[in-house]
Amino acid sequence: MTTEHHEIIVVGAGFAGIGAMISLREAGFDDVLAVDDASGPGGVWHWNTYPGVAVDIPSYSYQFSFAQRPDWSRSYAPGAELKAYAQWCVDEYHLAPHMRFDTRVTAATYDEGSDVWRITTSGGALSAKWLVHAGGPLSQPKLPDIDGVGAFAGDTMHTSRWDHSVELTGKRVGIIGTGASAVQVIPEIAERVEHLTVFQRTPIWCLPKVDFAIPRPVQAGLAAIPGAKALSRLVTQAYVEYTFPVIAHYGASVPGRTLFERAALAYLAQQVDDPAIREKLTPRYALGCKRPSFHNWYLRTFNRTDVTLETTTIDAITPDGVRTVDGTEHSLDVLVLATGFKVTDKDALPTYALAGRGGIDLAEAWDADRLHSYQGVSVPGYPNFFTVFGPYGYNGSSYFALVENSMAHIVRVLREARRRGSAVVEVTTEAEAEYMAGLERRKRHQIFWDPSCRSANSYYFTKQGDVPLRPSTTVEAAWRSRRFPIDAYSFAASAG
C-alpha cells in the first residue's frame, strides 16, 4: 500500500495552522495538508465552548493583520465569534480542501534514508518533506493531580470539553481552579446553579475589562474609513504590549507594574464586600508572574451567598464530591475542572512522539536537557521540522503576532531551500546556542525571577524552573523573524 505523501504537513488547524496554511500557499507551496483531531477549524475556539468564553485581549489585536474584520460585535469578542472568524479565514483563503479533521497525529519520525517525515495518524500513514507543528500551547487539557480524579459519581467536565447536555440549573456545582477559564465561567454559571463552590489554590490578578458592544455605525465606519481598522489594531496592540510582554519581560525595570498592582487591589477592595474573602482573593505574587485576567464581575460574584470560596487544600475527589484536608466533605452534583492545560509537559510539546536524527525523541531530549530552540521555530537534530509555537518564540503578546512572525521565518527558510534545491534543511547548533545565550543575557529584566513568583503556580514555568517565553518586544521579534542570518540553517541536497 502506498503512503499518502504531501510536500508539507501542518499538524493543527487552529489559528497557527490556519495562518501557516495561508502563508505557505501564498508563498507558492500548493501541496499542503493540515490535520487536526478536532471536527472543525479554530483550535481552542473550537474546543472551548464553556459559558462566558471570550478573548482576554481586544479583538482588534486578536486577528490576522492581513485579514482584519471591521465587524467584531464587542471590544472583546465571545468565543463563538472567534470560531466563526476561523471558519471565515478557511473559506476566504480556500483552505477547506487542504484540511483533514478528526485525525490525530500519534507519531512522526524523520527517515534519514529518504529525507521525509513518516507520520502516523489515527486515519492512516502519511509522509511529508516538511513538517510544521501547529498543535498549540493550550490544546491538551490537564487534569488535577488529586487523588480520586474519576471517582466522582456525578458529572465531571473540563472547561475545554464543556458538556452542554449537563444541566446546571438548580445543581450543587464545584469548580476546581481560578485561572483564566475559571474567571470567565464562574460568574456565568453562578447565576444558574443552586450553589457554587470554588476551590482556589492561587488567587489570580483580576483587572477590569474595557468590554463593550461595538455599535453598528462604528463597525460600518471601521469598514469604510481607510486606515481605521489598522489604527484600532495599533492602539489595542499597544495596550496589549504594555500589559503583557513589557510588564513580563521588562517588569523589573519599567515603571507602571506597581501602578497596575495598586489599581487591581483597589478594584478588588471596591468589588468584594467581605474583608475575609477579599483577603483570600488577594494575590501574593507580583503581577506578571502569571497571565493576569480581565473581567468585570468575576470578583463581585464572591459577594453572593450561594457562592463559597474554598481555599483549604483538596485532599481527594470522592464519589460524593470533594474532600478538603480539614475533613470537610463538599457534596456536589457536578464537578468542573478548570485546571488548565499541559503546556510544557513532556506529552504536550509536541503532542506526539517526534523522532529526529538518530531516532531521538524531541520531548525526551527537551525533558532531559532543557527547552531550547532557534527563535521558537526550529531545533538542531530535527531537519525539515518547524514549529509555530516553540520554546522561546512567544513573547506573551497577541498570538497572531507570533503566528505571523513564525511563519515569516519558516517561509523564508523554505523559499531558500526551494531556491537552492535543498532536500534537507536544519538549523545549526551554533545559531541556536547563540540565540539561547542572547536570551539568557536579558533575563535579569524579567519579572519571573521576583521571589514572589515561586508561589504563583504559573504555567509559564517549566519543571526545571525556566520560563520559555521570548524576552523581547513584538516589534523586535517581528524584525528578527524576518532578518535572521539565513546561514543559521544548513541546506543540503540530500542527507545521504
Ligand X SMILES: Cc1cc2nc3c(=O)[nH]c(=O)nc-3n(C[C@H](O)[C@H](O)[C@H](O)COP(=O)(O)OP(=O)(O)OC[C@H]3O[C@@H](n4cnc5c(N)ncnc54)[C@H](O)[C@@H]3O)c2cc1C
Between 12 and 203, CB nearer to ligand X:
12
For ligand X, the closer of residues 137 and 245 by Cβ is 137
Chain CA centroid to CA 382, Å: 23
Q: Is 340 in the site for ligand X (CB under 6 A)?
A: no
Residue number of the CB closest to ligand X reads 43
Q: In terms of C-beta density within 10 A (0-12 exposed, 13-18 middle, 19 or more buried), how is residue 213 classed?
A: exposed
Q: Which stretch binds ligand X (CB under 6 A): 7-15, 21-29, 317-325, 371-379?
A: 7-15
Q: Cβ neighbours of residue 111 under 8 Å, at least 6 residues apart?
A: 117, 118, 127
Pick 105 or 272: Cβ nearer ligand X: 105
Judged by beta carbon, residue 138 or residue 423, the one nearer ligand X is 138
Selected from 6, 24, 32, 37, the binder of ligand X by CB under 6 A is 37
Residue closer to ligand X (CB basis): 76 or 374: 76
Interface with ligand X, residue 44, by CB under 6 A: yes
User: Least distance to ligand X from the beta carbon of 35, Å?
Assistant: 6
Q: Which residue in 21, 10, 56 sits closest to 397, CA to CA?
A: 56
| Complex with ligand X: residue 152 or 382, whichever CB lies closer | 382
In this structure, the number of other CB atoms found within 10 A of the CB of residue 429 comes to 13
Report the sign of the C-alpha dihedral through residues 89, 95, 96, 100, in that order.
negative
- Alpha-carbon distance 417 to 296, whole Å? 50
Q: Which stretch binds ligand X (CB under 6 A): 39-47, 267-275, 408-416, 421-429?
A: 39-47
Which member of 17, 203, 288, 376 binds ligand X (CB under 6 A)?
Answer: 17
Closer to ligand X by CB, 378 or 398: give it.
398
**Total of chain residues touching ligand X, rule CB under 6 A:** 33
Name which of residues 373 to 432 contact ligand X (CB under 6 A).
389, 398-399
Task: Please give the residues from 166 up to 225 whose contact with ligand X meets the rule CB under 6 A.
Answer: 181
Any contact of residue 38 with ligand X (CB under 6 A)? yes
Smallest distance from ligand X to CB 354, Å: 10
Amino acid identity of residue 282, one-letter, is: T
- Cα separation of 63 and 51, whole Å? 22
Answer yes or no: are the C-beta atoms of 432 and 271 closer than 8 Å.
no
Does residue number 78 form part of the binding site for ligand X (CB under 6 A)?
no
Helix (H) or strand (E) holding 365: helix 362-368
Residue 259: all three cell numbers together: 501602578
Residue 15 or residue 366: which is nearer to ligand X going by CB?
15
Binding residues for ligand X restricted to 344-363, rule: CB under 6 A? 351-352
What's the closest the beta carbon of residue 46 comes to ligand X, in angstroms?
A: 6
CA distance 134 to 427: 19
Interface characters, 53-72, with ligand X (x: CB under 6 A): x-xxx----x----------
Q: Which of positions 80-139 make contact with ligand X (CB under 6 A)?
A: 104-105, 134-139
Which lies closer to ligand X via its Cβ, residue 17 or residue 391?
Answer: 17
Closest contact distance (angstroms) between CB of 451 and ligand X is 28
Phi, psi at 265, each rounded to 5°: -70, -40
Between 43 and 380, CB nearer to ligand X: 43
Residue 211 to residue 472: CA distance in whole angstroms: 28
Q: Which residues of 236-245 are buried (b: 16+ CB within 10 A; e: fewer)?
A: bbeebbebbb
Closest residue by Cα to residue 273 from 232, 302, 239, 236: 302
* CA neighbor of 417 nearest in space, from 134, 12, 133, 129: 129
Do residues 491 and 422 make contact, with C-beta atoms less than 8 angstroms apart? yes
Looking at the DSSP bridge assignments, the partners of residue 325 are none
> Where does this chain bind ligand X (CB under 6 A)?
11-12, 14-17, 35-38, 43-44, 46, 48, 53, 55-57, 62, 104-105, 134-139, 181, 351-352, 389, 398-399
